[in-house]
Structure 1
Amino acid sequence: MEQLVDGQHVALQSAFYGTYIYADEDGRGVSLHPRRSSPNAAWVVHLLLDGGSPHVLLYGVSYGSYLAATTMPAPSGLRGSLVRQHCFDRPEDQSVRWEPVRAGSGDVLLRSLSGGYLRASDTVATVHDNDRCGWWRPSPREISCRGFQILRAHLSAKGRAPFKLQPPWRREPRADIGHIARAIRFVRAERESPDGTFPHVAWACFEFTGRSLFNLRIELARRLNFAVVSDVIICVRAGFFGRLTPLVTDLPPNNVIMEIIVVTAGTIAANELRFPNVGAV
């Protein structure tokens, strides 16, 4: 399907509401919002072939988590179950797999292999057997081969991540999150085994306070003895079968343990990463 090409950055706009699928700032929820020009609204296509039939997986630019159907009931007044951000830990996991159905207009339906269609509402995304409000308009999001160079320059100049995520809505007021402490587990990409795993002894851990991506890079550079801080590329991977995703936003506002894979700028692994075009979002 030409609108959904493997590795492409896309935005999914509801043909009914005109809003976009958003990866919420907490790294778990999925909602709808009219603002396209945000990394929250950017998803990367991950195509899998199963018996010749293509399955579409979508993972967020913000934290690398996969768009997944759940059995969690939708909020009162809405039909179906919630869509959330999940890890891709099992290849047979049907909740993260979607079958696209294309219309002549170019709009698509996305049917979850676990049942139901991806649907829009005025606030959240759901899955339901009825495909009403289930048509989506995929549109490509520009990426840059020079993405890391642009990101590096921005981080060096500003001392912060280029994107500050703004959640489209909040279920409850949040306390001050500037001093959140969380455990950071980290490993260098060079320690990866041929089977895609990392030896247990290769991982290290420390407590990090705050959400600043800039400060996290400084701390990782210090712990890994990088001579140049900007050579540190911080990546996340949502599950064993998830794809490596460069982290371009500040950390989520929670104290959940984060696993970081550090890629060195200028290496083959770094050259294979795909960054969103900072100047285009």
Structure 2
Amino acid sequence: MELFRTAKAVTLRSHLDKYLVADDDQETVRQSRNGLSRRAKWLVEGSGHVIRLKSCHGRYLTASDTAYLLGMTGKKVTQTVPGNTSDSLIEWEPIRDGFQVKLRTRSGKFLRANGGTPPWRNSVTHDYPQSSATQNWTLWDVEPVEVPEADPVADYLSSLSSFSSISDDLFGSEPPSPMSIKAAEPFGLSSKRIAMELFHNAKAVRLRSHHDKYLLADDDEESVIQDRSGSSKTARWTVELVKDADSIIRLRSCFNKYLTASNQPFLLGMTGRKVLQTRPGRLDSSVEWEPIKEGNRIKLRTRYGNFLRANGGLPPWRNSVTHDVPHRTATQDWILWVVDIVEIQIQSPTAKPPLQSLSHSDSSASASDSSSPSSVSLHSASFSRQESNDSLENSPPKTEGRTIYYHVADDNGNVDDSAGGQSFTLKENGVFELTRRLEEETGLEDIIVCSRSNLNGKLYPLRLQLPPNNATMHVIVIQASSKAARSFAKPGIP
């Protein structure tokens, strides 16, 4: 995997969109949504096809022999400092599975991110996936990061001296030399900073490929294509800067949808993945791009190490846009883009220049339709204070939507009301949308959403539409394979 050839440290993100973190008790390992924390960063050490992962506390990710729960198959994953660095409990074998990785222990078990109700929620164990519903629990997205401050580069280099080489498949054939690491900032940080300078004050941009065609949001409001019509409004992309990430941007089309690196293959059997316009319910790493300057052009890299690529050749490749890693010299330039700033963000003289996303009130302003790359449209200097950094996630509170309170029932449909309930806000009106959201919240699959009758206390599955937006709902989540679910099929039960 090309992604890991220069990686000195990584983060591991589970199927629940949570990161593997090393707790401050220097023993526990769990999942957390805070992927920016130093506790989510793991130094990589390797020998052959086996790697070790060291936490910010200087302890190793360890597949212990201690049962997580008595009578269950999963074993605890902890942080330890073994007396012998060749201890097989701290060795993990990365196995590629599509765009993701499995980490296998010497005993053949896999690092697993558990979902469901407590105590399973946010826990991490090593186990064999027992059913098809938990197959994805052993898959991890691996993202390269800078070396954590708690682990100086010198310490990292000294640790490399104990291991002759890093996995050829994942990390390249040779570790980086001390001179190259000392002379350069981690992961080309200076190139990232220079590239980000293009976007700091840019409100809208156009991206021009090496084919001299522009990145366009197609009128179907889903596809992304290349076209020579740079004066079209569909060639305009609004820039948003991401909170707590000084080298990441989002690009929003004229249809108010985000440039998205999807997991859908462009053509069956080919490596390129589709780039789309989407409006996700929650802004995630699929809509985040990292600009990297190369000469007078830039590359836009996804969090998974692929690059935005303008394809040439014969149809269906011609004018298509994918994200991929260029494997041939002839296609190296396909990931390079010229950035034309078509609208500048004007700040008041007293405003500070921190990275912030652009407000929705200004993002709808029309861009200059000039096709000249040097054309720039300026707006009034009475620019109001910028909104919060994530323009969708942190927009001003709205009252629309209903509050959903939920409990997860046991196999018989019983609920422990004393444990309190979890809640979230849902804007959609359908049971399908509610079911998908509850699967995300609970980490469960193949669920049935029920309500409890006020007359007899029995559970009834929800059908079709939900009550009006201003209604508060209390629902019960059960597994489709549970005894409670099977009772729905009995006569007399709707």
Larger Rg: 2
TM value normalised by structure 2? 0.29
Tell me the TM-score normalized by structure 1: 0.49
The answer to which structure, 1 or 2, has the higher relative contact order (CA under 8 A, 6+ apart) is 1
Q: Which has the higher strand share?
A: 1
